[in-house]
Amino acid sequence: MVVLAHARLAPSERVSLRLAATYLSFLQHAQLDDGRFHNFMDYDRSWSDEIGTHDSCGRAIWALGYGLANVPNEPWRRVCAALLDRALPTLESLEYIRSRAYAVLGLAHAYAAARDPKYAAALHYLAGEILAAYEATADAEWPWFEDVLTYDNARLPEALLRAGHVLREQRYTGAALAALKFYEDLTLENGVHVPIGNDGWYRRGERRARYAQQPLEACAMVDAELAAFDATGDAAHFATAELALEWYHGKNSRGIPMAHGGGCYDGLGENVVNYNEGAESTLAFLAAACAMAQRRARVLRAVR
């Protein structure tokens, strides 16, 4: 997804498409006969798992749906569609709400690009499950999908927003906007994005963790706010997306830049920074930067 987004921003730089071919080939190799995916590969290129985690399978579906909508040529589009279609019967095996949300994000891209009824049906199923979780848990003081906020939190309202947008289903959009407002109220402090930390998370009725902040949280917030901007046209969501991106550049609760030389540090603690630059952290930063650059370009074109 990151290299495809970069290819759209810098079409003359061929390295992104070379990498995209490698990563699409990896996804194809990772898919099991039943449509699910491996996740862990050893250095000798043998798989070290029987099947990937629910989240990794959901993320693979996300990548394929995004690819179907954004690859630059028809042969790659056919590969993405074939792998995605093979994965559709596995959706019921995604038991966890985040793995379902990841799959929704990919299917929303796929349906927007192809308008295939089977993608709409899959979206209705998964978005319906996410909405049911929200309705079973939410009340006026806690309009959220679970009794605890853990990781990649903004992906949950984002998934319903994107499903509601492409399916034109207000019931998804309304719940998503209420949940996103709740999340904004928790994590925006005087114009600074302060995501839920993974040093304890935030359980209903208890104190929220402020530190061990993870880079993927800022990326999820960027994407969720851009989805809300698409759904509502409210420029406040665009501004909040900008604030979330600034988390990487030092506008965070410690004033420390997390993005460094194209990479991103792994975590922001109360007294320390995790200076490791893991793939997840760097990809989160690059994905957020690309998403904002693409959207700024679209806004400028619209203004002109």
78-128 pLDDT, tens digit per residue, is 999 999 999 999 999 999 999 999 999 999 999 999 999 999 999 999 999
Q: Could you tell me what percentage of the chain is helix, strand and coil, using 3-state DSSP and rounding each to the nearest 5?
A: 60, 5, 30
Supply the Cα-derived Rg of the chain in whole angstroms: 19
Token digits of residue 251: 């506008």
Q: How does residue 303 score in pLDDT terms, banded at 50, 70 and 90?
A: low
Same domain, 78 and 114: yes
Pairwise CA distance, residues 291 & 169, whole Å: 24
- Give all strands (DSSP E) within 60-184, no chain letters: 148-149
Same domain, 129 and 204: no
Same domain, 237 and 125: no
Same domain, 92 and 171: no
Which H or E run contains 164? helix 155-167
Pairwise CA distance, residues 40 & 277, whole Å: 19
Range of the domain at 84: 1-39+47-137
Same domain, 128 and 70: yes
Pairwise CA distance, residues 2 & 92, whole Å: 27
Same domain, 240 and 302: yes
The model's pTM is: 0.97
- The predicted pLDDT at position 247 comes to 98
Same domain, 69 and 172: no
- Per-residue pLDDT of 139-163, as tens digits, reads 999 999 999 999 999 999 999 999 9
- The predicted pLDDT at position 300 comes to 73
- Non-local CB neighbours of 131 within 8 Å, separated by 6+ positions: 160, 171, 172, 175
Mean pLDDT, rounded, for 258-263: 92
- pLDDT averaged over the chain? 97
